[in-house]
Structure 1
Amino acid sequence: METLFNKNSHSKPLIIAGPCSIETPEQLDNTVQELVSQGINLIRGGVWKPRTRPGSFEGLGSIALPWIQEIKNKYPVKFAIEVASAQHVEEALAHEIDILWVGARSTVNPFTVQEIAESLKGVNIPVMIKNPVNPDLSLWIGAVERFQKIGIQDLAVIHRGFSNFRDQIHRNSPLWQIPIEFRTHFPDLMMINDPSHISGKRDLVPIIAQKALDLNFDGLIIESHCNPDQAWSDAAQQLTPKNLEFMLSQLKTRKVKFEAAEMLNQLAEIRSQIDQADHDLLEALHRRMQLVEKIGEYKKLNNVAVLQMERWKEIFDSRPKWGESLGLNPELIQEIFGILHQESIRTQTEILDKIESNN
């Protein structure tokens, strides 16, 4: 059985594009016409739009489905929409929608995922599953497993970033380590990146898209609108089809397999150096934790509180600056030392408990 999301059948990254929301027949037609002229034949469009707060535009709903059918009769395209309930699925199938996706606000709820999955039992249709809003790998894995269990074979996942109130750059933090970890569980599933929802700003879309391709993502799903500044939703992150065409022409795909012996040898040498650097890091971490144990014992013997806020503030302020002077990302250094601090507190507390239990 031929499947859309078969990794081996695509020599180039899969591109899905279209408006955040379907607004009018004219808007949909104009956008699709321009995208088709670029060779894009997988179109996305919002019919039902679950929004965070009431009052936002939540899609036209069922009224837009016949417009999609008219577009499919006019242009050689397949159409993808988001569904959030069994009723949505029923209406989508009745209007011959080609591809369904489960949104981030649905993936976070196992009951909703199960309802949508069961409504597709016995149906042969491609399904894409977005990561949940919150950075919970298990929820994402569980959603895929629910669809696999009811027999959906043609599956892909979409990485659209995660809510993070601390991120001042992205609309949704990419947290690249989560999709990378996900791929270790499902190496054969296509993983598609959504740079529009990660960036929230159209000037960041190319940067996120290139990063995804550098990490060997299998495709991109991008919001494109014939007049994005007048869009009824997500105006700031949508590209005109013309700008999308230019962006795609500038993106570079990386080699996945190395064939030349010389290249393989160079790669092996660099990896060996990385292994040694990692070993050195672990030895340094071991030395640091030994010192943490010593200071924990000293604090106990001298009746000093484990948590010293002035010292922690000094570390939290100075280490990112040290890292930045070495060309390292200060936000990364903050995160690393935040984890180290938590482990230091845990270690010192354990020492305190052990000493008290021996007395």
Structure 2
Amino acid sequence: MKFNNKESFFTRLRAAEQGPLKIAGPCSAESEAQVMQTAQALAGKVHLFRAGIWKPRSRPNTFEGIGYKGLEWLSRVKQEFGLSVTTEVANARHVEEALKYGIDVLWIGARTTVNPFAVQEIADALKGVQVPVMIKNPVNPDLALWIGAIERIYSSGVTDLAAIHRGFSSYQKSKYRNAPVWQIPIELKAQFQSLPIIVDPSHIAGNRDLISQVSQKALDLGYDGVMIETHPDPDNALSDSEQQVTPARLAEIFEKLQVRKTNYDDAELVNRAEELRLQIDAADHDIIAALAKRMALVEQIGEYKKQNNVQVLQLERWKEIFRSRADWAEEAGINPDFVAELYKLIHVESIRKQTQILNEE
């Protein structure tokens, strides 16, 4: 897949600006007055006005969007404030109606991305249509599923695409509503370097106080834009009230965002960075050598267990390793949570190796 950033709708929206693409608007279009009030506050301050009119909710009897009449309100936003507008589509009928009302950009939500049948239905409806499409990551941390959704839309003939990172569901306790799992969008960017990636800090955070922090983290990683939910009266919003901010607070968040340089622009800095990278390469070589030594010892233990008919998993030993390595990490000034995750991977590989040895004929 080839994405031409120079001719991209998203690039044109930003024009000569050096800052990020700014997308904002209410989580849901609740009333015509609310939509127009929000748009008026955002006119000239954002590149793209967003509002959901069909809202896929986890449970029935909750606000599921205003429906088709919301398209009329978005059309008014375009006419009266000169803002480009975007809304979420989840099926072919949504696509047809949105295009009928001149919606500039469509986005596919996380609950739709997770379903290849639904994405294909949207892709079929888009054949022969040149409209920009943004695709959110699936609810679950599945890079292949995300790429598959992008490929389906691209195969329909739509090449003006962007990815939206809105975080992933997780059973683990976290300060975030949806775990960022930054490595997944980084891998997506590594595979498709010219594909714009936009962060949705509202859905990652689930808490308006974390939106600024998440937005800056994304820009530090080279993201192309932010998509933030804003509402004139967030506490009384009909959906996702805790993660929406007032237009005034949104302006403060935008003001504080810093865009980093894409690379070093000084020869001395380039040379120093290269020296440090060489040292990092040497350190990584030592780490790999140490892992190889450890795995060789694991194989010896596996052989010993096989000879003595002892099971692979020694729970008390694993607990002791998990506890002590985290303590060692803290003493060394390394994040113990990082080391704990690292040793989980090491332990999985150790179990695999020993199990293989025990079952060899």
Q: When the two structures are superposed, what TM-score results if normalisation uses the length of structure 2?
A: 0.94
- 1:19 and 2:26 correspond: yes
Number of residues of Structure 1 aligned to a counterpart in Structure 2: 354
Match of residue 295 from structure 1: 301
Q: How does 1:194-273 map to 2 (within 5 A)?
A: 194-273=200-279
- Paired AA for residue 105 in structure 1: R
Which range is displaced more, 267-276 or 315-324? Answer: 315-324
Q: Matched residues in 2 for 1:22 and 1:130: separation?
A: 19
Match of residue 332 from structure 1: 338
Match of residue 35 from structure 1: 42
Q: Matched residues in 1 for 2:46 and 2:36: separation?
A: 14
Q: Matched residues in 2 for 1:316 and 1:89: separation?
A: 51
Q: Matched residues in 2 for 1:321 and 1:191: separation?
A: 37
- Superposed CA RMSD in Å reads 1.6
1:4 positional shift = 1.1
| Candidates 342, 345, 351, aligned match of 1:345 | 351
- Paired AA for residue 146 in structure 2: W
Match of residue 177 from structure 2: 171
Q: How does 1:6-85 map to 2 (within 5 A)?
A: 6=11, 11-36=18-43, 39-85=45-91
- Paired AA for residue 51 in structure 1: R
Q: Matched residues in 2 for 1:297 and 1:231: separation?
A: 63
Q: How does 1:279-294 map to 2 (within 5 A)?
A: 279-294=285-300
Match of residue 8 from structure 2: 3
Given that 1:124 and 1:152 are in contact with CA atoms closer than 8 Å, whether structure 2 keeps it comes out as: yes
Q: Matched residues in 2 for 1:227 and 1:154: separation?
A: 34
- 1:150 and 2:156 correspond: yes
Given that 2:113 and 2:145 are in contact with CA atoms closer than 8 Å, whether structure 1 keeps it comes out as: yes
1:333 positional shift = 1.9
- Paired AA for residue 29 in structure 2: I
CA deviation profile, 1:138-163 (whole Å, cap 9, x unmatched): 11111111111111021111011111
- Paired AA for residue 58 in structure 1: E
Which range is displaced more, 66-75 or 320-329? Answer: 320-329
Q: Secondary structure at the match of 1:72?
A: helix
Stretches (4+) displaced over 6 A: none
Q: Matched residues in 2 for 1:245 and 1:274: separation?
A: 40
Q: Secondary structure at the match of 2:73?
A: helix
- Paired AA for residue 352 in structure 2: R
- Paired AA for residue 348 in structure 1: Q
Give structure 2 stretches of 5+ with no counterpart: 1-5
Give structure 1 stretches of 5+ with no counterpart: none
1:2 positional shift = 4.4
Counterparts in 2 of 1:55 and 1:331: CA distance versus 1, 3 Å: farther
Match of residue 192 from structure 1: 198
- Paired AA for residue 161 in structure 1: G
Q: Matched residues in 1 for 2:196 and 2:178: separation?
A: 21
Given that 2:21 and 2:47 are in contact with CA atoms closer than 8 Å, whether structure 1 keeps it comes out as: no
Q: Secondary structure at the match of 2:22?
A: strand
Q: Matched residues in 2 for 1:336 and 1:203: separation?
A: 30
Given that 2:10 and 2:21 are in contact with CA atoms closer than 8 Å, whether structure 1 keeps it comes out as: no
CA deviation profile, 1:100-155 (whole Å, cap 9, x unmatched): 00001111111111100110111111100001111111111111111111110211
Q: Secondary structure at the match of 1:257?
A: coil
- Paired AA for residue 141 in structure 2: P
